[in-house]
Chains A and B, each alone.
Chain A
Amino acid sequence: MSRDFKIASLMVVLPLLVVLAAPWAGVRLILPGEVFGWGAGFLDSAEARIFWQLRVPRVILAWCAGATFGLCGMVFQALFRNPLAEPSLLGVSSGAALGAAVSIRLGLGAGSLGAAVTTGLLGTVATPAFAFSGALLAIAIISAFARLARGASDATLLLAGVAISSLFSSLIMVFQYTGGAVETYKLLSWTMGGISVVGLGEGLSAVPSLLITLAMSFYFSTELDLITFGDEIAATRGVELERMKRLLFIGMSLSVAMVVANCGPIAFLGLIAPHASRRIAGPRHRILAPCSAAVGGTALVLCDTAARTLWAPADLPVGIIISFLGAPFFMWLLFRPRHR
Chain B
Amino acid sequence: MSRDQSAERRANGIEISGMSVELGGRAILQDVSFEAEPGGFLYVIGRNGAGKSTLLKCIAGVIGSYSGKLVISGREASSLSARDRARLVAYVPQSSPADVPYTVLDFIEMSRYPWRGVSSEADDRRAVTEAMELTGIAPFADRRLSSLSGGERQKVMIASAIAQESGTILMDEPTTYLDYAHQVETIDVMARVNRERGVTMIVVTHDVNLAMGLSGKLVAMSGGRVEWTGPPAGLLEPGWLHRIFGVSFSRYSSGRDGEFPILVPERGILRL
Contacts and interface: CB of A to CB of B under 8 A. Distances in A.
Given A236-B86, A238-B113, A240-B83, A278 B101 contact: yes
Contacts of A282: 101
A225 B106 CA distance: 9
A338 B101 CA distance: 10
A240 B96 CA distance: 20
B86 A238 contact: yes
Given A236-B85, A236-B89, A236-B90, 9 more contacts: A222-B116, A232-B60, A232-B93, A233-B93, A235-B82, A236-B91, A238-B82, A239-B113, A283-B102
B91 A284 contact: no
Contact of B62 (A222, A225, A232, A238): A232
Given A236-B91, A339-B146, A222 B82 contact: no
A238 B83 contact: yes
Nearest to A226: B110
Indicate the size class of the contact surface on chain A.
Answer: 20 to 34
6 contacts: A222-B116, A225-B102, A229-B97, A229-B100, A282-B101, A283-B106
Contacts of A283: 100-102, 106
User: Is chain A's interface secondary structure helix, strand, loop, or mixed overall?
Assistant: loop
Given A235-B62, A236-B86, A229 B107 contact: yes
Contacts of B84: 238
A238 B97 contact: no
A240 B110 contact: no
B82 A232 contact: no
B86 A237 contact: yes
Contacts of A237: 86, 110-111, 113-114, 164
Interface in B40-99: 57, 60-62, 81-87, 89-91, 93, 96-97, 99
A230 interface: yes
A225 B109 CA distance: 11
A228 interface: yes
A12 interface: no
B85 A238 contact: yes
Contacts of B106: 225, 283-284
Interface string B109-137: 01101101000000000000000000000
Interface of B: 57, 60-62, 81-87, 89-91, 93, 96-97, 99-102, 106-107, 110-111, 113-114, 116, 144, 146, 164
Contacts of B86: 236-238
B96 A229 contact: yes
A19 to B, nearest CB: 30
Interface of A: 222, 225-226, 228-233, 235-241, 278, 282-284, 338-339
Nearest to B98: A339
Which 5 pairs show the lowest CB-CB distances between chains A and B? A238-B86, A238-B114, A238-B83, A236-B91, A283-B101
A60 to B, nearest CB: 33
Contacts of B111: 237
Contacts of A230: 97
A232 B92 CA distance: 10
A232 B91 contact: yes
Nearest to B111: A237
A232 B164 CA distance: 15
Contacts of A226: 110, 113
A308 to B, nearest CB: 37
Contacts of B116: 222
B109 to A, nearest CB: 9
A233 B83 CA distance: 13
A235 B113 contact: no
Contacts of B144: 339
Contacts of A236: 60-62, 85-86, 89-91
Nearest to A278: B101
B85 A284 contact: no
Contacts of A239: 82, 113
Contact of A240 (B81, B91, B146): B81
Nearest to B144: A339
A222 B113 CA distance: 8
A236 B59 CA distance: 10
Contacts of B146: 339
A210 to B, nearest CB: 26
